[in-house]
A and B are shown apart, each in its own frame.
Chain A
């Protein structure tokens, strides 16, 4: 989409991998904001935060990519981004292990994603860049927060929850 040769990206670590998003989509990097859990949301939505008076959902990228949760999240932060969902503007936070730097990536340094691993979440990666001997995966924000993937996961989660509730009910202790 970009006609220009170089763009700036914000790079961060998630479970040992480097990812990046276009800097223009980033509103702010924040840490220490109180996380509020919301029942019934997809498992990778860790909760909502009060971002400048607005309620913004936070997606834990580790869980989103089906990776194990971060044990020690002392240096974890939330990258508040501006993306779109169903073609409407949407603000969401991404919980990452560590924000590393702002990096310039030239269009010709970006390679397409190899179709080796055929997981759904591959749709979230727009390309792979090699910078200073590092491999950086470029994220498509809209896909990360997309309704499609969420709906499928939500239905699965809801079905599971309903089944669990029935199980619990059957096992309820007598008065």
Chain B
């Protein structure tokens, strides 16, 4: 799996933003793989799939690619986002993926991490290694593969839109043998000149029917909305607060010259007598 990386690393010295985006990816992990409500969503998807799948085939998704792009150069009068490449920290995502297995008896869902599962080897619960369910008790419901994501900022909508199209085409080209794809996106408008798009692209091992698409799309939209809105915006807010703090400190510092030097020292040097008091001074030799 390759994901194009950008070489344009201008302005990635924004430490807070880097943290924001890192947290964002961690949240993807959390939402998709760990949170209870999403197990329920997945169960619904699985349930609906089974309900409508006359052949009894399960749906497996091969790849989820998550991307955020935005256009707009200015956020609160400052160049805000540029290109970030945080792939090196996401090594574990390169091989990490999650599978959801459903227990055939009690229908509980179990998220599993293990590369070996792909090949059918023994596998263990990601959280509790003591659990080693027998494969026959579980059936594969949903497989999610997180790949390193990118964030890009563009100066205008046309470039952003083109990037969006390029991303679709790239994924499509890579997985042209799949039977079904679903892509959906979510937009957040932070400022009149600044929008953030987040998108997810899934491929499926068989063609989805309408209601399946609808459920999966809803699930994706919920996920994207939570990830983008709840996590990104508070971090943007935190960033804005730091900028405001900086501006407040600058205000205080700006008065330093007049307060220390002006009112205490220079105010005593405004008459001819006061100047001559010093100018006439010659040190003894």
User: Do these two chains interact?
Assistant: no
